[in-house]
Every structure is written in structure tokens, then in C-alpha cells.
Amino acid sequence: MTDFLFVLLQVTTELEPVLEPTIESKSVMDIILEGGAIGLFIYLIQFAISILALTIFVERYLTINKASKIDANFMNNIRMSVQSGNIAAAKALCQNNSSPVARMVEKGLQRIGKPLADIDKAIENVGNLEIFKLEKICLIWQVSLVLLR
């Protein structure tokens, strides 16, 4: 019982003000500028890399978009020309269209009359070449950006 009274005697009726910690808010720019020249240098490097990443993204998007465009009736026109026996007209359609699909179909049309395995291999080779061209364009563009710095 005496322990209980001892606890009660320690309780004060006065409310002591509770100090809340103050949080100082800083902007990212304030933190960078506090870092001095090194902080600013790091910020500029991050900004340049962000711009580079954005331009690579846009370039890849436009290149892939351009490569994937094909006329909706292209394959129907090719099919009709081949079924009517007019291979020359089908080849001319492919030559007038500058898409990777048209170049692959043209290679297949050039191999008509040969074994199916040869036709398949020729189309596969042209497909690999088209992929290499797309990758090569990206690589040349990236190297040129690095050299411009």
C-alpha cells in the first residue's frame, strides 16, 4: 500500500508544456546548393542524363513506330497478286513500300519455286538484318551523343 501512495504523491496536477520537435523543411534545390560546387555538379550530371534518357526513349519510340507501320491492304494486295500469278506486281508492291515487312515479303517472293526451307531461311535472314539495322541506328545515335559532349 505504501508503494501505491508513493506513486500517487509523485503525480503533479500541473500540466507541463510538451515541446514538439520542429521539422525544418527544405527543398531539393536548397539541399543541392548546400552541397556547394560538388552538389551542383552532381545535379547537372543527373539533369544531363535525364535529358539523354528522354531523347533515347523518344528516338526509339519514333523508330519502332515507323518500322511497324504497314498499309492495311498491303498483304491483301500481295496475296491477290500472287494468287493471280502476277509475281512481278507483288514484287513491285514490296519495292514501293519501305517497311521491314515489305522487304521480308519481297525476299520470300524472290525465292518462289525453291524449297520451303530455303524460303524460310531467306526470310529469317532478312528479318535478322532488319533487326540489326534498327539496333545499329540506335547505337550510332547513342555514340554520336556521347561524342558531342
Statement: the pTM of the whole predicted model exceeds 0.75: no
C-alpha cell at 39: 552538389
pLDDT of residue 68: 72
pLDDT value at position 87?
A: 84
Nearest to 80 by CA among 65, 66, 90, 94: 90
Residue with cell 530455303: 118
Per-residue three-class SS string for 13-52? CCCCCCCCCCCCCCCHHHHHHHCHHHHHHHHHHHHHHHHH
Cell 502476277 belongs to 86
Would you say 57 and 65 are in contact if contact means Cβ atoms under 8 Å apart?
A: no
What's the pLDDT score for residue 6?
A: 58
pLDDT in single tens digits along all 149 residues of the chain: 556 555 555 555 565 666 677 777 888 778 877 878 888 888 888 888 888 888 878 887 887 787 777 777 888 888 888 888 888 888 888 888 877 888 888 888 888 888 888 888 888 888 888 877 777 666 666 666 665 55
Q: What's the confidence (pLDDT) of residue 7?
A: 57
Q: Using alpha carbons only, give the angle 83, 85, 87 rounded to the nearest 5 degrees.
A: 105
Largest CA distance in the chain: 113
Query: What's at 77, amino acid-wise?
Result: N
Can you give the length of the chain in residues?
A: 149
Helices (H) and strands (E) in the chain, counts: 7, 0
